[in-house]
Structure 1
């Protein structure tokens, strides 16, 4: 199973965590961030991760996570109970479509020739306010749901910037997350969860 990646990719880390949990070995193909022609050749688009497996070429981390879950069902990253399974899927969809919208818009605004300071402040405040939601979700449990699931692996690579910064990371998007998610001492459960997931292996 081959996975194309660029350095410091949040979406690649999602897949690396899931693969390790399931005992899947990945052959990595490193693609330069400033030359994604190999990604275009393989998948027709420029985003990572891209998975190659048994003739299948699959892009987009949510789709890859779903493929791994369906192809390698044990150990599962979805609850056995159908209702809880649906809740995890709803959370992942919300995180990808709703939560990520604020940092994505903040990044896009900052790329403009004349960014709107009020818009940047509004979007930054939205990111910062979300910390309380995750702190509440982690009340009386170690993971976002009752056990380690796709919810944790979907959110962690983004929320980790509240606590963790990797030297050499060049991405301004990650700086936005770091600057607006910084925890201080007010979110002990969220910080403990970040460190708990960070301690897990990657493929």
Structure 2
């Protein structure tokens, strides 16, 4: 397998965690963020990650790649075997991408405007901060987001929520600074902080 990536990409880290969990070796192709022409040529769009499977199949979008890896290498699993629980996890993945990520994306959009709406940024930022309470409840009494076993939910959420605790000084992405600035546990949310530390030591491809 080959996969295309750029530095510090949250979506690339999702796939790296999934690959590491399954013990799948991959050849990484590093892409210059300023020139994504190769990614566009291969996949028809410019976003990473993009995976090329051993049979030549091209898969784009981090969630689609994780689902593809589950089909190709079912064990160890990233999705529950029970159909209802699997469906619930798919709903969570959709919610995280379509709903949870909306406020930080909107804040980034505000900062691109000549005159950002600071009041709107504050409201959106409070929504990001408030989501920590939801994850704190979700992690009550268990090690991972979907129970006692690592799953696609952890792959999906960790690269974003980790900014509550972790920061790489070489990371200059504005989107990540937004997450760092608003995901402030301020000494609270012990279950979230422990989960971040727990997932951070897991293998990555």
Q: Same fold (TM over 0.5)?
A: yes
Gaps of 5+ in 1: none
The whole-number CA distance in structure 2 between the counterparts of 1:10 and 1:45 is 17
1:108-147 matches, within 5 Å, as: 108-146=109-147, 147=149
Partner of 2:188: 186
The whole-number CA distance in structure 2 between the counterparts of 1:138 and 1:129 is 15
1:81 Cα deviation from its structure 2 partner: 2.1
The whole-number CA distance in structure 2 between the counterparts of 1:112 and 1:70 is 42
Partner of 1:10: 10
1:78-89 matches, within 5 Å, as: 78-89=79-90
The whole-number CA distance in structure 2 between the counterparts of 1:28 and 1:10 is 15
Partner of 2:179: 177
2:43 pairs with 1:43: yes
The whole-number CA distance in structure 2 between the counterparts of 1:57 and 1:126 is 36
CA RMSD of aligned residues (A): 0.8
Query: What's the secondary structure of 2:199's corresponding residue?
Result: helix
More off after superposition, 50-59 vs 170-179: 50-59
The whole-number CA distance in structure 2 between the counterparts of 1:145 and 1:20 is 18
The whole-number CA distance in structure 1 between the counterparts of 2:191 and 2:38 is 41
The whole-number CA distance in structure 2 between the counterparts of 1:85 and 1:184 is 34
Query: What's the secondary structure of 1:42's corresponding residue?
Result: helix
The whole-number CA distance in structure 2 between the counterparts of 1:38 and 1:63 is 20
Query: What's the secondary structure of 2:33's corresponding residue?
Result: coil
Runs of 4+ with >4 A deviation: none
1:108 Cα deviation from its structure 2 partner: 0.7
1:123 Cα deviation from its structure 2 partner: 0.7
The whole-number CA distance in structure 1 between the counterparts of 2:47 and 2:84 is 32
1:83 Cα deviation from its structure 2 partner: 2.0
Partner of 1:157: 159
Partner of 1:31: 31
When normalised by structure 2's length, the TM-score is 0.97
The whole-number CA distance in structure 2 between the counterparts of 1:201 and 1:28 is 15
Q: Please give the per-residue CA displacement for 1:45-87, whole angstroms capped at 9, x wherever unaligned.
A: 1100011111111111011011001111111111122222222
Aligned residues between the structures: 203
1:41 Cα deviation from its structure 2 partner: 1.6
The whole-number CA distance in structure 2 between the counterparts of 1:169 and 1:33 is 13
